[in-house]
Amino acid sequence: MKHASNDLMAIRELNLSYLQFAQRVLASSREAAVQLGLSTQVADALARLSPAQLAKLASSSQLLCLFRLGPDAMLGAFISRNEEPVRSRVLGDAATETSVL
């Protein structure tokens, strides 16, 4: 039961962080609603929620945010980010070998 309680607490914290983030972004740019995957009506309602209302909404046992990256996009981003150090080492070694010649 302790794991379930920890999981629910983690979901609540993630939900609250997401809702606060979304509110901040929407306050500066309503166009951000599209990037967040929110309809205009939901974005307007979210922007008007009080901190107490955000906390209550965050207490849901389900994640309120949606991860919209497909597995290919996630894997591609991970690979390209992790290839850079390898690419640097390879190019660095090649540059060293070239300078020796």
Asked if residue 96 has pLDDT above 50, the reply is no
Alpha helix positions (H), the chain: 2-28, 32-36, 40-48, 51-58, 71-100
Alpha-carbon gap, residue 66 to 27, rounded angstroms: 20
* Highest mean pLDDT (candidates 34-38, 66-70, 83-87, 93-97): 34-38
Alpha-carbon gap, residue 23 to 7, rounded angstroms: 24
What would the pLDDT profile of 5-23 be if each residue is shown by its tens digit? Answer: 899 999 999 999 999 999 9
The residue that leads in pLDDT, 27 or 68, is 27
Would you list the domain boundaries of the chain?
1-67, 69-101
Q: What's the mean pLDDT in 39-57?
A: 95
State both tokens at 76.
Answer: 């591609």
The CATH architecture assigned to 1-67 reads Orthogonal Bundle (1.10)
Q: What is the pLDDT of residue 17?
A: 97
